[in-house]
Structure 1
Amino acid sequence: MALPGIGLEQWRSESQGFNFKGHEVRYWTAGSDDAPALILIHGFPTASWDWHYLWRPLAEHYRLIACDMLGFGYSAKPAGHPYSLLEQADLQQALLAHLGVSGDVHVLAHDYGDSVAQELLARHHEGRFNLASCVFLNGGLFPETHHPVLLQKLLLSPLGPFISRLFSRKKLEASFAKIFGPATLPNAAELDDFWTLISYNNGPAIMHRLIRYMPERRQQRERWVAAMQATQVPMRIIDGAVDPISGRHMVERYRELITPADTVILEGIGHYPQTEAPEAVLTHYLAFRQASTAAVDSP
């Protein structure tokens, strides 16, 4: 049975807010406070609504926590802010503190959020975060396998501020047509909702600032990969194979660098598996958690 999802207006109505460094951040919670805590971390350029198909099914098992990171969705988008992946990891920790979550935390991340999750994994190894497990959906885990689309390259160029101002729903549709699976493209209503989140509070004007995560990934590459190679934290990749940015080729690199390599390939699926194939993502995520829990409990 297809997962029904949550409409954007209802999603927005269920949000809460807290102050992070003087900026309002919108966040969502669901599930029992007694259940294991699971943070869902969204990607670029969208927001936490990306998880709306998985939200209710996962809430049956976990205490869910998700926010629109600074510069995204319904959260503040300060115009001159020096956006940073490290600061977004600070934001995740600040939200946990705001909610009184102090124990081990599980992470499910996508795209830009994968890099935030890598930073949290590195902090776990430095004794600054308690990470219990981590699952990555399509993202640039390794700069050498990240193939940015033309729009991303232009945003990072000296033309970035100009390109940001010209970004539109039409350009979003054209970009998504290249990175989604051919049979799982978003429909017009979904594109409208994605655009609502991106355009809210003049979001396109800061896209050239948000895109600075790409060089930041290169700066942190050795630290993040070393943490992934050394960790005992259970990890899995669930990856859309036909994604030109971070599809099958990224998983092949992961298998070269990470041992053991727990990977799942979703054939015919592109860059957004949580919206293109949410049932498959849910199945593989729950199986991962069941297996990792059984491994911990075994004598």
Structure 2
Amino acid sequence: MPLSEIPLSVWRKRSQTFVFRGQSIRYWTAGQGEPLLLIHGFPTASWDWHYLWQPLTQRYRVIACDMLGFGDSAKPLNHTYSLLEQADLQQALLAHLQVEQSVHVLAHDYGDSVAQELLARHYEGLIDVASCVFLNGGLFPETHRPVLMQKLLLSPLGWMIGRAFTRDRLVKSFRQVFGPQTRPSESEMDDFWSLIETHHGPRIMHKLISYIPERRVQRDRWVAAMQRGEIPMRVIDGEVDPISGAHMVERFRELIADADTVLLSGIGHYPQTEAPMQVLKHYLAFRERLALPPLKVACS
């Protein structure tokens, strides 16, 4: 049975607002139990999780926000955007909600990098991360294969490219990264575009794309945190994603001992919207395994 979608208009009405460093941030929270932080990707927003929202809130206290520069949150023009600041934002949101328990993280794309920073901060004693699951994202700069639009935004003419970004350009970019049988409908494209266009989003896209070189700077610190192996991790990855598909998972298996990975056949860069039932199944299986008591070995 397919998961029910939450229309964007309904999703927006359920949002709440808090202020982070003088900027208005939209967030969502529902459910009870262990806190689960959902972190969205570029260039979209937390509505990416809408298929998974209800089934996850039946089990956990689920928390998500539109990060600074994304979705319905503030998009200041004269601002230097940083993955490190986005991690600060996630921690500020948890503090705003008075979350004091260990936090489980489910992240995608740009959000993977924010999650990697939170993992590094866990080992620095700045946050308590209980587990982390990554969907398609550039966990390793050496495996990231940017699409043409990302390359153009990173160029000296990026500010012009961003301001000229349109719904049609978004459709062309998404056509490259979604699975051939799981591309978004015209209605979904309208909604994705609405989230990008809000608050004049295209004019800051060249600023947001600075996360790609920032990943290179933080690469060794983040990979070292992942390699410590004390926090349970899983990768659930759309196999045919040209940006961070099967080739990224292969690298993950090379670098991470006892790597826990799931490849979704025929699925592209947005598995949470392309194959939400599969993502839910594999995520819940991961969490159920964490809840099992340790095996007792009899000695004689």
Q: TM-score, normalised by structure 1?
A: 0.98
Q: Does 1:245 align with 2:232?
A: no
The equivalent of 2:80 in structure 1 is 82
The equivalent of 1:48 in structure 2 is 46
Runs of 4 or more consecutive aligned structure 1 residues displaced over 4 Å after TM superposition: none
Paired AA for residue 186 in structure 1: P
The equivalent of 1:224 in structure 2 is 222
Q: Render the CA deviation track for 1:166-201: whole Å, top value 9, x for unaligned.
A: 100000000000000000000000000000000001
Q: How does 1:23-62 map to 2 (within 5 A)?
A: 23-32=23-32, 35-62=33-60
The equivalent of 1:144 in structure 2 is 142
User: For 1:17, what is the secondary structure of its paired residue?
Assistant: strand
The equivalent of 2:8 in structure 1 is 8
Cα drift, residue 298 of structure 1: 4.6
Q: Render the CA deviation track for 1:105-127: whole Å, top value 9, x for unaligned.
A: 00000000000000000000111
Q: Distance in 2 between matches of 1:127 and 1:194?
A: 36
Cα drift, residue 249 of structure 1: 0.2
Q: Distance in 2 between matches of 1:161 and 1:102?
A: 40
Cα drift, residue 231 of structure 1: 2.9
Q: How does 1:129-278 map to 2 (within 5 A)?
A: 129-278=127-276
Q: Distance in 2 between matches of 1:293 and 1:123?
A: 24
The answer (yes or no) to whether the contact 1:110–1:136 under 8 Å persists in 2 is yes
The answer (yes or no) to whether the contact 1:125–1:231 under 8 Å persists in 2 is no
The answer (yes or no) to whether the contact 2:106–2:134 under 8 Å persists in 1 is yes
Q: Does 1:120 align with 2:118?
A: yes
Q: Render the CA deviation track for 1:92-140: whole Å, top value 9, x for unaligned.
A: 0000000000110000000000000000000001111100000000000
Aligned length: 296
Structure 1 unaligned residues grouped into runs of 5+: none
Q: TM-score, normalised by structure 2?
A: 0.98
Paired AA for residue 87 in structure 1: E
The answer (yes or no) to whether the contact 2:229–2:257 under 8 Å persists in 1 is no
Q: Distance in 1 between matches of 2:276 and 2:21?
A: 34
Q: Render the CA deviation track for 1:38-93: whole Å, top value 9, x for unaligned.
A: 00000000000000000000001000000000000000000011000000000000
Q: Render the CA deviation track for 1:260-279: whole Å, top value 9, x for unaligned.
A: 10000000000000000000
Structure 2 unaligned residues grouped into runs of 5+: none
The answer (yes or no) to whether the contact 1:236–1:288 under 8 Å persists in 2 is yes
Paired AA for residue 232 in structure 1: E
Q: Distance in 1 between matches of 2:117 and 2:40?
A: 14
Q: Distance in 1 between matches of 2:127 and 2:295?
A: 25
User: For 1:232, what is the secondary structure of its paired residue?
Assistant: coil
Paired AA for residue 31 in structure 1: G
Paired AA for residue 75 in structure 1: S
User: For 2:273, what is the secondary structure of its paired residue?
Assistant: helix
- Give the share of equivalent positions with the same residue, in percent: 69
The equivalent of 2:109 in structure 1 is 111
Paired AA for residue 24 in structure 1: S
The equivalent of 1:68 in structure 2 is 66
Q: Distance in 2 between matches of 1:258 and 1:76?
A: 36
Q: Distance in 2 between matches of 1:91 and 1:42?
A: 13
Q: RMSD of the alignment, in Å?
A: 0.7
